[in-house]
């Protein structure tokens, strides 16, 4: 997940408050006590939790030699890079060489440019501004689902009861909309979109903050292309909410419930022949997302139905993609 640091220029209670309310990760300031009086958030500065020259480094980019220096500094920690004109000094060079580059920007347009460098973008944005509205707009870019996932349709091939097992409900601090949920799969190379509990049904009231995500062993997609086993998720961590168009939003976890329930296996295949599968609770309230964006209960699911999911390349090591041959079945 990309970081957002806000640097009030000059110090402004309104800008710091906007940063807090927008979910910024840190405030860059030499007056940390004034920030702490407004709320709990990390500070970056000479007296902050993160100190310049010790935890975080600054590099002004005006030449290829400056780029080399920034890359060297990034080996020690995040490096905040700045230049007089981001359209002249392309960020692609730095993003290609390091995943610890933060861009210091002064506008929404510059933030958008930095987040789009080489498609993956910088690791973080340091926004220098005196405008609370700019803080809110840039935060929406950084935190509001800047990631886009390339969903593809899968054709369901089999639905088979498995008996009893442990499944995981992920209760988030986000109210999902219809068509949204989490990407979950038995393997890290293919996942299906499991719908949040947003819909009315005769049995329980909607719980739009919840995704009854699947069995404990399954992978779940996280921000930044990482994955985690459902059993390893904890309160305070973040998952990636995904809608039927592939748009995303980060969602903080408030609670994780593991309970013993009847399970079933859903198997499907993408149009290119690659398989996907997921183990879900066997209940009417558990749904996948159809190719057209509607929800389909596992109780009504049938071979031939088309549902949405994601294909990923490479294997995983502690949740991170790696270039290694791994076969999962």
Residue numbers of the chain with a pLDDT score lower than 50: 316-320, 322-323
Strands 306-311 and 152-172: antiparallel
**What is the pLDDT at residue 204?**
82
Provide the CATH topology of domain 3-143.
TIM Barrel (3.20.20)
pTM above the 0.75 mark? no
Closest CA to 75 of 101, 95, 52: 101
Strands 227-229 and 219-221: antiparallel
**What is the pLDDT at residue 315?**
54
**What is the pLDDT at residue 47?**
85
Angle at CA 292, nearest 5°, toward 287 and 296? 20
**What is the pLDDT at residue 320?**
45
Residue 170 CA to its chain's centroid (Å): 15
Angle at CA 190, nearest 5°, toward 184 and 196? 25
**What is the pLDDT at residue 242?**
95
Same fold, 3-143 and 152-322: no
Compute how many other C-beta atoms are within 10 angstroms of the C-beta atom of residue 221. Answer: 25
**What is the pLDDT at residue 119?**
67
Answer for the pair 96, 90: CB distance below 8 angstroms, yes or no: no
| CA gap 267, 159 in Å, rounded | 6
What's the half-sphere exposure (Cβ side, CA atoms, 13 Å) at 218?
34
Residues paired with residue 239 on neighbouring β-strands, in sequence order = 251
Answer for the pair 100, 78: CB distance below 8 angstroms, yes or no: yes
What's the half-sphere exposure (Cβ side, CA atoms, 13 Å) at 9?
13
Cis peptide before 10 (omega within 30 of 0): yes
| CA gap 84, 25 in Å, rounded | 25
Identify the sign of the CA torsion 209, 210, 211, 213: positive
Q: Where are the domains of the chain?
A: 3-143, 152-322
Overall CATH class of domain 152-322: mainly beta
Q: For 98-162, give the DSSP string.
A: -S-EEEEESSHHHHHHHHTTTTT--SEEEEEES-HHHHHHHHHHHHS---B---EEEEEEEEEEE
């Amino acid at each position: 997940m990309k970081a957002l640091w806000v640097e009030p220029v000059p110090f402004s209670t309104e800008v710091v408050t906007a940063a807090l309310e927008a979910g910024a990760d840190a405030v860059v300031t030499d007056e940390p006590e004034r920030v702490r009086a407004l709320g709990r958030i990390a500070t970056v500065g000479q007296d902050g939790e993160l100190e310049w020259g010790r935890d975080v480094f600054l590099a002004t980019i005006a030449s290829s030699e400056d780029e080399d220096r920034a890359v060297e500094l990034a080996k020690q920690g995040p490096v905040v890079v700045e230049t007089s004109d981001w359209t002249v000094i392309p960020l692609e060079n730095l993003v290609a060489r390091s995943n610890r580059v933060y861009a210091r920007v002064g506008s929404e347009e510059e933030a958008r440019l930095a987040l789009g460098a080489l498609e993956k973008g910088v690791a973080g944005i340091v926004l220098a501004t005196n405008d609370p509205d700019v803080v809110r707009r840039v935060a929406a870019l950084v935190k509001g689902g800047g990631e886009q996932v390339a969903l593809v349709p899968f054709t369901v091939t089999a639905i088979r009861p498995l008996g009893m097992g442990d499944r995981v409900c992920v209760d988030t601090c986000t109210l999902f909309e219809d068509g949204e949920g989490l990407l979950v799969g038995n393997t890290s190379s293919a996942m299906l979109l499991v719908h949040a509990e947003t819909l009315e049904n005769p049995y329980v009231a909607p719980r739009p903050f919840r995704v009854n995500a699947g069995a404990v062993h399954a992978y779940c997609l996280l921000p930044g292309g990482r994955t985690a086993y459902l059993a390893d998720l904890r309160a305070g961590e973040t998952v990636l909410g995904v809608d039927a168009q592939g748009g995303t939003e980060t969602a903080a976890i408030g609670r994780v419930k593991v309970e013993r329930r009847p399970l079933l296996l859903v198997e499907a295949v993408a149009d290119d022949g690659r398989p996907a599968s997921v183990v879900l609770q066997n209940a009417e309230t558990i749904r996948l997302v159809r190719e057209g964006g509607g929800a389909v209960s596992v109780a009504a699911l049938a071979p031939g139905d088309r549902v949405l999911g994601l294909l990923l390349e490479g294997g995983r090591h502690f949740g991170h993609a790696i270039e290694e041959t791994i076969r999962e079945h």
